[in-house]
Chain A
Amino acid sequence: MEQLRTIGRELAMGSQGGWGQSKEFLDLVKSIGEARSKAEEDRIISRELEHLKRRLADPDVQRRKMKELLLRLVYAEMLGHDASFGHIHAVKMTHDESLPLKRTGYLAVALFLDERHDLVILVVNTIQKDLRSDNYLIVCAALTAACRLIGEEAIPAVLPQVVELLTHPKEAVRKKAVMALHRFYQRSPSSVSHLVSNFRKRLCDNDPGVMGATLCPLYDLILEDPNSYKDLVVSFVNILKQIVERRLPTSYDYHQMPAPFIQIKLLKILAVLGSGDKQASGHMYTVLGDIFRKGDTASNIGNAILYECICCISSIFPNPKMLDAAAETTSKFLKSDSHNLKYMGIDALGRLIKINPDIAEEHQLLVIDCLEDPDDTLKRKTFELLYKMTKSTNVEVIVDRMIEYMINITDHHYKTEIASRCVELAEQFAPSNQWFIQTMNKVFEHAGDLVNIRVAHNLMRLIAEGFGEEDEGADSQLRSSAVDSYLRIVGEPKLPSSFLQIICWLYDVAEAHPTDDTVRAYAISAILKIFAFEIALGRKMDMLPECQSLLDELSASHSTDLQQRAYELQALLGLDKQAVENVMPSDASCEDIEIDRNLSFLNGYVQQAFENGAAPYIPESERSGAISVSNYRAQDQQETSAHALRFEAYELPKPSLPLAASQASISTLTTDLVPVPEPSHYKEGNQMSRSQPSGDSLSGEFGVKLRLDGVHKKWGRPTYSSSSTPSSTSGQQATNGGSISEVGQSTSSQARESLYGSKRQQGTEVSAEKQRLAASLFGSSAAKADRRGQAGRKTAKESSSTEKVAIANATPQPAKEQVIPSAPPPDLLDLGETVSSNPTSADPFTQLEGLLGPASASPVLSETPASSASKTPDLMSIFSDDVQTGVTGGTTEPSLGVNVVSAKKGPSLQDALQKDAVARQVGVTPTRNNPILFKDLLG
């Protein structure tokens, strides 16, 4: 008798009742749930892992126990602990004959390993064998694992079997075989390419599920090469039509929509196939129109199909009627209260305005609402839309908005993206240089470290060089305004370093920022330039004590670059006006340094050397030393001053260049008074100092045109040069990044003028602000303001969860109180009953509908009676129909003194209480950590 009972218990255990796992696992979860700190949790799990390690290695452990041990291992690994010692056991388990063990093995292997793992080679053989199995479940498990584990080199081993399975009688197997083949194709297109025709064949499978699965690989194939699948357009359209006309079995309906996921996939495929193809698109219009007509905007999935339809229409050859329908649906989305639909609406709008920019105007206010929405995703999407529709007329508003938004972002990644977008838009559409500089300043101020360094250099050059127009006054005005703004900014405490570089480039601010070497280098250069400028003007300069101390400090710096700059400055201070002017021509910042690669200016010297009997050829390494050393001696006063500005320090040590560079710079002339020579340019690298003398209008004067072939002409960003004034010479385009459409400035400011005018006209008092924004965003033509009432956005979604609550409340409160205390800690083993299928009192499916909102849980709480154990009704509702038990022996286990379970056959209320009791026992019950753990997921 005793033994029979034990067997019964074993049986109950075996069938995995309750929560299906043993007490040990429950205990593990309980203790993890109660862990107060991460450290404690880690301790628990490492103890568990130790335990598992021992047990798994134990050869006597029962096979069925192995399954659970492995699952616990998976659990531990999911929590982020290394369980690699168990991987081999998982592999071993896939060899097992018993189905559950094999499946568990495959599951663990698929979770633990990937195709590159060493152990995979051991699994491939098993997969191969299992693909031939009679039991289709084993085949399915093997296919699932194959999807995950078969790498490129293992594909040939299993490919024949997988192809064979494409015609397996079970549709589940066929479906998975198709997907496995697709996966192989993704891994290594070449090894499966001869089998691609199989996908076409499977498209005609008589099971719609298999057909739907086939669409996945076909979509990928078509994306790669649309042209070879044009013949399928008609078939796809026909399939779509059949689905839309509800010719599929009703089992494929989902929320009253016929096979929506297949519809979406088909629409995606059609969008690719119809792109730019008038004939193919012609086939689609009818069925697309049908979908729009039958479209169901009430359900989520209906909207998904409509959205996909819009995407399709915006991608295929445009048809005005279709576009109208799409625009109409888009506006429905935008006007919806649901954030999800608004999001989709914004996305759809972004697609449609590519075809017809006017569509946006109609929805301007809605778009602006989205811009102010608390939902961050929606905001981001809206900014994406704005980015797409930026024109020179609305760039100011949009970029201002973007910057404003950018300031508040904390996400580093996204901030970078927005900042670079701001820069891009500003560069492309800037209405005026003034605005451009101010915008860039703002961007640098808030996201300076995230912006590409090139942008900073561009900006420096822009300020230095002016804008290529004749009006010098405007230039200097601009510069002084830039100077003013920088002065203001310098006062602020924390600035990104690249921004500082710009500022330093104009001013000496080194004392404030003693840490960053680059910044200091810029600073010392700045001091140098200021002094050079002052000396050149013939003024007597007194060294400020701070500067002097900085200089001394830097002279002893570890950075050779800094040291050199410091010495240069000192040397410079000793020079007279003439020399300084030559060394630091004050208007030469962007003039290219001309380089004499042949060192022709040394010819005389070389000649002289020859005459003195020098060897005709000197190896390069020696030559550099020899020449440069002796050169300094030999040169006259000007050459010495070149010494003071040794450009070689800013470049990689290239032996022959430096002299040439200095030579060239000496020959430049000074015409302007603005102190902007710019060593940082040389620092920018060899690219610049070596670049082709690009015929800046000044450089023509020296005529020292030298051979500098094969040098990149890349100077500024391409966007810049493209917008430079057409009147400028070709050479100027390369150098002069600053010449942003001056023409555009005047026109756009006019446009703005008219914008503001129109704004005033449409001044409705409430949304005047918004309308102004809208008008400036969408252009003046958008005077009609279709304002929409924003009310009702907050209307609570009434969910049908009350139904469930009613059931829950039907259970009397006291009943629980009676049972719980009387229940001594029940042994879990005894509670291991089977979860047999018990018809639920209320169909969960119907309850589910309308429970889309996450807020659906709240009504349950609010309706529970306010008792001390206010959670009980919920609990009951959860369990009321859960555990219908039919366990044989385990009910009366006297040794453990548990009799709660004896009432098993009773009403479901009892079961609920039991489950509750067990839960309390296990400890996963409402703890302070997780008070609503028990709440039914669906409300």
Chain B
Amino acid sequence: MKNAFPDSTDELEIGEIVYQDTMIDTVRDILKKYDHNPTRLMDILIDTQSEFGYIQPLIVAEISRQLNISNVDIEQTLSFYHFFSTKPTGKYTVYLNNSVIANMMGREDVARTFEREAGCKFGEVSADGLIGLFSTSCIGMSDQEPAALINGTVFTMLTPFRVKEIIRDLKGGKKLDEIIVEGLGDGANALPEINSMVHNNIRKKGPILADGYKPGEALKKIMKIKPEEVIAEVKLSNIRGRGGAGFPTGMKWEICRNAPSDEKYIFCNADEGEPGTFKDRVILTEYPKMLMEGMAIAGYAVGAKKGILYVRHEYKYLQEYLEKIIEGGRKKNYLGRNICGKEGFDFDIRIQFGAGAYVCGEESALIESAEGKRGEPRDRPPFPVESGYLQKPTIVNNVETLCSIVKIVNHGALWYRSMGTKESSGTKVISISGDCKYSGVYEIEWGFSVTDVLEMVGASDVQAVQVGGPSGTLIGQNEFNRTLSYTDLSTGGSIIIFNKQRDLIKDVVLNFTNFFIDESCGSCTTCRNIPVMLRQKLEKILNARGVQKDIEDMIEWAKVLKASRCGLGLTAANPIVTSIRNFRPLYDKKIQHGKEYDSNFDMLAAVKESCDAVGRVPNIHSN
């Protein structure tokens, strides 16, 4: 009888066995690099994936043995993240963004050209193993779409013509950086350690994005005052979290400072995954020193010695650059031991990359991920400020928040409060994309109206504006007088504009709903299922089979999501709910009137296979 569990070396050629041995050696080196620490599983898997292009069972078994955790415990992390694979993904792995903006900018033609030229469909690898084609959620390039990552290198403004060239060159054996013919991007993008064609597109500068920033100035200033005074200044500034949730930063710092612990952590959340957001990418590119300084200030204020900069995998092309900046900070003594000569003030930063999961932008999921686990949000309480990374008090702040703190320290809380509105002080860096003349990054004071913004970016013929990304609100003309602020239209930075030619339900709402389905962690019964069933309703309506009741069902079913654990589940129906509220006539136009019920059953389609098999012409009586 054949062994049901064959030894993995069965039926292998000698050459393959030798290859497997060297592969195992490489994995052992990687494990050594991370001290055989299971909480560094993300890094171990990221390095393994980039070394071999995929992570096969043999490697999982080796990691399992060395870390003394079970295979399934490794696979649960491995299978959670989009950019890990257990199967070969091609010598060149293309991840083409499928966000709503990519589609608006011509993704469909680009995708079809990729398939034709590579000779395989999306989700497959070409027969020669050279090219793998995959779709991915927003990669933070909404102002230069359609865009794709090829082995981590960003290709922007793709056209069918460029895709033909790229595939031809890859087949011809050219290296990735040789095939960027457009020239390099502006600012730091052109530095050899980034060497990218990505553009910053900074359109409007405010105090955060202003020129003339002097690294270390704020750090030297706080050396003269007590940590409590730093927190008091931050509280006085009234700044709230810039990642979207809007929690008062000073309060967060104070709770963390007061939490008793021998060790504390400062996390910077650079996992911007909300479709249409790309402002943190620009800050990371142009103002990383300011960000590091903000993290060190946070460390000083709450008494943390370690910082972790969690960067989304899509921005891995910035790795060498960011590491160099950190190294430079150490040399200048802005990081490391006894910072700025202050005895006992130690603070250092490491970078943690994600591996493709929107939900990791939620602070507790981000911490889980940094601990090498699935990015499932935690139950709260306890909150990260009390028990976060490795169960230690942890602050998680957005990139822009930490940069704003540096300016608050430099110029004072009252200066900061002189900008914006009473409840929403200061400025906001926003990412604008979609149907407008000047998409890009703008730093504006809180309190601008949507109309102001539309004029600023050169948008006309506007049908709708998505404020705050898919988890935000879709508004129409009658609400363009509303203002951007925490008390009216809150946004973590994403503003997407749709003109009157767009089909909001098909192009926007369906795309956003698919996004939430793809990105749900799956832990809550509600979030795992309701969006899937809402999509079925949307598709029914788009197929002209919808009735009035389907719209009502969507509104009712969406309420069930309010029992979900985290922000993703709580907002997953926002595209549907806010579009029904603000664009009801679009739905009414697509449904059947004078009909109370439609089963959505397609008899012709149902019997097609059997009719084809027996060569019968279906004879269906319609009622």
> Do A and B assemble together?
no
Chain B residues with a Cβ under 8 A of chain A: none
